Amino acid sequence: MKRVAALAGVGVVLLGTAIVLELGGVAPRAELWSGAGAGVVFLLALALAPAAAPRRSAVRARLLAAAGIAALIAVAALWQESRQPAPEVLLLLIPVALLFATAGLALREAALERRRARLREAGSRLDGAEAERRRWARELHDDTLQELAAVQVLLATPTGVADAREIVGRQIQSLRRLIAQMRPLALDALGLAAALEDLARNARDRDGVDVEVAVDGLPRLPATVETAVYRIVQEALTNAVRHAGGGRVRIEATTHGPAVRVLVRDDGPGAPPAGFKAGHGLLGMQERAELLGAELFVGSAPSGGTVVRLELQAQAAQEM
C-alpha cells in the first residue's frame, strides 16, 4: 500500500496543477499534460492496489473516480488546444463517462461489501459468544454442579465433612479459573504482560503443559488493544494445548522498532492444528487482528511446530 499511497500523492499534485490551470484559463497544453499524467498515475495506482478487503475496494473506487476527473480535465484542455467550436475530441467524453459510472458502481459495491463484512463480523461474534456460553455451561454442569451434588451427599454422612471441604476447595479454584477466563483481573490491573503470565500459569496448572512466557519491552497499550491481543493469545494457546500434540508452548511478546510482535509457538508436528480450521477460533483471531490493523500468520515454524504470529504498529495501536 505504500507504493499506492505514493502514486496517489503524485496524482493529487498533478490533478491540483491541472485544476489551477483550468481555473486560470491559461496554458491549455500544460493543463492537458497535467490532467493526462494525473489520470495515468491514478490508473497505475489502481492496478497496484489490492482488492481483497472492503476498505481497499473503497480506495480503488476513489482512485478510479480521481482518474475520471483527471481525464475530464484533460479532455477540456484538449478541446481548448484544438481551438475548434465542436471538435471530435468531445467523443472522448464517452470513456470519461464510463470511468465515472464504473467508479460509482465500485463505490456502491465497496459499501455493500463493508456492510456484509460487518454482518459477518457480528455473526461471528455472536457465534463465538454462544460457543463460550456452551463451554461455561458444560464446565459448570460437568464439574461444579456434579461435585456440589457430591458435597450434598457427603454432608449427609457423619464422616464426610473433610471430603466435602476438599471438594469445595477444588471448586473454588475451578470457579476462579473460569472467572479469570471470562475477564482476567491482571489485564486491567497490571497490563498485558502480567495477564499473559497468568494465562500461562493457569494452562500449566490445568493442562499440565509446559508454557513459557518471554516479554521484553512491551509498552502499555489501550485497554481495547490489550484485550484483543490477549484473546488472540488465549485462543492460540487453547488450540496448541488441545490440538497441536506437543508438550511445550512458548509465548513471546516483544517490540521490534515501531512494531509489537506476539508469538505463540508449540513443539507439535508443525502443520496448523485441525482445531484452527473448524469452529470460530481462527476466524475470531483474524477478525480481532483486522480490527487492530495488525498482521496475523498461522502456520509451521521453520524450527518445527506451529506458530501464531501477530504484528501490529505500536503508534497506530496507541491511537485506537
Is residue 96 included in any domain, yes or no? Answer: yes
Evaluate whether residue 126 is within a structural domain.
no
139 part of a folded domain = no
Q: Is the dihedral of CA 300, 302, 305, 310 positive or negative?
A: negative
The answer to whether residues 215 and 112 belong to one domain is no
At 9-66, the pLDDT tens digits run 888 888 888 888 878 777 878 887 888 888 888 878 877 776 555 556 667 777 777 8
What's the pLDDT score for residue 88?
60
| Closest of 167, 166, 163, 130 to residue 148, by C-alpha | 167
**How many domains does the chain fold into?**
2
As given in the structure block, the three cell numbers for residue 221 are 497499550
Does 287 reside within a domain? yes
Residues 207 and 315 in one domain: yes
On whether both 210 and 319 belong to a single domain, the answer is yes
CATH at residue 248: 3.30.565.10
Alpha carbons 124 and 286: distance in angstroms, whole number = 11
Q: In this predicted model, what pLDDT tens digit does every residue of 94-129 receive, in sequence order?
A: 666 766 667 676 677 767 777 777 766 666 665 666
Question: Which of 92, 121, 150 is the last residue before a domain boundary?
Answer: 121
Q: What is the pLDDT of residue 13?
A: 87
Residue where a domain terminates, one of 121, 151, 173: 121
64 closest CA partner among 98, 19, 26, 24: 98
Looking up cell 500468520 gives 297
For residue 299, the surrounding DSSP H or E stretch is: strand 295-300
In whole angstroms, give the CA distance from residue 38 to residue 18.
9
Give residue 278's pLDDT: 47
List of the chain residues with pLDDT < 70: 1, 50-58, 83-96, 98-101, 103, 105-106, 110, 119-137, 139-143, 145, 176-183, 244-246, 270-280, 316-320
- Domain containing residue 113: 2-121
Domain end position, chosen among 121, 148, 179: 121
Question: How buried is 148 (Cβ within 10 angstroms: 0-12 exposed, 13-18 middle, 19+ buried)?
Answer: middle
Strand-pair category, 295-300 with 210-216: unpaired
Instruction: Assess if residue 320 is contained within a domain.
Output: yes
User: Which residues are 250's β-sheet partners?
Assistant: 212, 265
160 lies in a domain?
Answer: no
